[in-house]
Structure 1
Amino acid sequence: MNLFSSVIGWFIFFVVEPMLPIQLKSELINYMFFNNFKSANTQSLLILTACIIFFATFIMKFFILRVLLLSLSEPVAKKQEEPQTSQRRRWRSFSTAKLQNTNLVITTLIANSLSYTAITIILIFRSK
């Protein structure tokens, strides 16, 4: 999941990077290599971009995880004579699927948040 989202993220970066203005490119290189900004506008843009990347990565990881889980599940072969299920049993299976989907969203959000928190802590230590 992380590998797929990283590959997609780097692909998007290398597609967008040639379209950036030269001043923004030089500010980005200056921050990466020398850890300083010349303008506060670039720092605001970097923070906004980081927030967008966080949520885009979260959504991407959620859908990738969902696809991987669906590919691992066994195909359900339909029998010609399906037993009649009660309304209560159908409601229970629906609420179980809804709960599993909610747990998947929360788990993905927590994992992504912890990952970005670790990166942020490293950047804070690097800046001091």
Structure 2
Amino acid sequence: MDYEPILPLRMIAFQILFLLVAIAVESSILRLRLRFGFQTSVQYTLAINLAAIVVGWVAFLVIEPLSPLEIKSQIISYILFDRLSLNNWNAPIGATICAIGVASFLVTFFVKLKGLEIIMRADGVWKLDEEDNRPAKRVSRDERYARARQGRSDTQQALSEFMDAVIQANAASFSAITLLLLLRYWVTREVA
């Protein structure tokens, strides 16, 4: 049986729309929180989002052939026809979608965090390791005591702010994309 190749143009268009929304939202947050320039924040955000998309599609293309036939039919029905088919997976589909959403958020956060760190190291902007390797200057006993009471070194504080900025940017872009998906669902439901 020969099959004709099908190009899911609607899915490609929405992937591009979601990429543009994520870049706009995340670059503004990273610019404010990490004090990048406009162009730098957009370039960094574009690079880490493209890396996240590649990782996501590779994971999808690895997992999809291993999934049961019922799930494959749901995936194909949703991607090509924008609706879920009726089969045994209709009842647990909500919990499955929520679990996939949480997992994709966490994996995307990790990819963006490590991707941004790698890009900043390659660009010579990453300064956190240099603070640990600087020569130790003579610090008074009172100053050491004050630092110990604070509980966090400057490097730990900077790393925490870096991680907070990336997770806020990721959460904001996921929220914006979720709102777009809900708006799309609401509009297509009204038309149908």
Would the TM-score normalized by the shorter structure come out above 0.5?
yes
Report the alpha carbon displacement of residue 102 of structure 1 after superposing the two structures with TM.
0.9
TM-score calculated relative to the size of structure 1 = 0.78
Residue equivalent to 2:54? 7
> Which secondary structure state, in structure 2, belongs to the residue aligned with residue 84 of structure 1?
coil
For 1:13-50, what per-residue CA distance to the aligned partner results, in whole angstroms no more than 9, with x for missing partners?
Answer: 11111111111011122223444333131232122111
Residue equivalent to 1:49? 100
Output the CA distance in 2 between the equivalents of 1:36 and 1:21. Answer: 18
Residue equivalent to 2:65? 18
Residue equivalent to 1:122? 180
1:52-91 aligned at under 5 Å gives the runs: 52-71=103-122, 72=124, 73=126, 84-86=137-139, 88=143, 91=147
* Contact 1:27 1:42 survives alignment (8 Å): no
TM-score calculated relative to the size of structure 2 = 0.55
Output the CA distance in 2 between the equivalents of 1:106 and 1:26. Answer: 39
**Alignment-mate amino acid for residue 155 of structure 2:** A
Which 5+ residue runs of structure 1 have no aligned equivalent? Answer: none
**Alignment-mate amino acid for residue 119 of structure 1:** I
Identity value in percent:
25
Q: Name the Cα RMSD after superposition.
A: 2.6
Aligned residues: 123
